[in-house]
Structure 1
Amino acid sequence: MSESEFDLDLEELSSAEDFLEYFEIDFDPSVVHVNRLHILKRFHDYIEGVMPMPEDDAERRELYAGFLNSAYSDFVESDAITEKVFKVFHMYEPVSVEIPLMDLTTQVESGAAKV
């Protein structure tokens, strides 16, 4: 199976700005400058969620344009820390630990805890 013209076009795109311009999406360069990798990762995640992918280039182009516009909009309305696109943002989530009060008083009475 040979690559379509759409696939070949996509292979030529290398930056978030290239993708946004190719799909004719108006964008604020300052938003893209700060969030370029996050936008492209979110775009990729949206595409990965489609099964089956349309085979028609026009349908895929329209689908991709909508996904890229949504990915870009996510970061216009929010920020990278809130959106947590990359795994690293999930690695150090706060963890709550509950210790029953009885456990603390038992340790103090038995001399296990030193203050």
Structure 2
Amino acid sequence: MTCTHTPDLAPDVMTKLRSAGSAEEFFALLQLDYDPKVLNVARLHILKRMGEYLVGEDIDGLPAPIAAARCRAVLERAYEEFLTTTPLEARVFKVLKTAVEPPKPPAFVPFDALLK
């Protein structure tokens, strides 16, 4: 099942996105379909990844339709990543990145150093 929303895009899409209160609102504002099952599992990961991708985009000062199209493409890219990858595999958040780091070996203290 996919959800389709087609509200008006505000002249300043970034202002609208900043005030969005849920992942569903992001998809609605940018007029993207989504599978609620995917969004329920990976919503924070999708939005975090979208933010990472937006850092590489220069949206400030663009006309609203172009800014909206770029934001839409970035959200779509982030969403599609989680259609084939689990949040655990993608490791978007630091806690998941460090969860797989090999443990650091204990510090070696020579026996002679203990006797001093």
Return the TM-score normalized by structure 1. Answer: 0.71
- Residues 11-37 of structure 1 deviation map (CA, whole Å, 9 limit, x = unaligned): 331111110111111110011011110
- Which of 14, 21, 25 is the matching residue for 2:21? 14
Residue aligning to 2:111: none
Aligned length: 93
Write the mapping of 1:1-115 to structure 2, written as runs, cut at 5 A.
Answer: 5-50=12-57, 52-56=58-62, 57-95=64-102
- Tell me, in whole angstroms, the C-alpha distance in 1 between the residues paired with 2:65 and 2:34: 22
- Write the letter of the residue equivalent to 1:60: A
Q: Which has the higher helix share?
A: 1
RMSD of aligned residue pairs (Cα, Å): 1.9
- Write the letter of the residue equivalent to 2:97: H
Which stretches in structure 2 are left out of the alignment for 5+ residues? 1-10, 105-116
Residue aligning to 1:101: none
Return the TM-score normalized by structure 2. Answer: 0.71
- Write the letter of the residue equivalent to 2:21: S
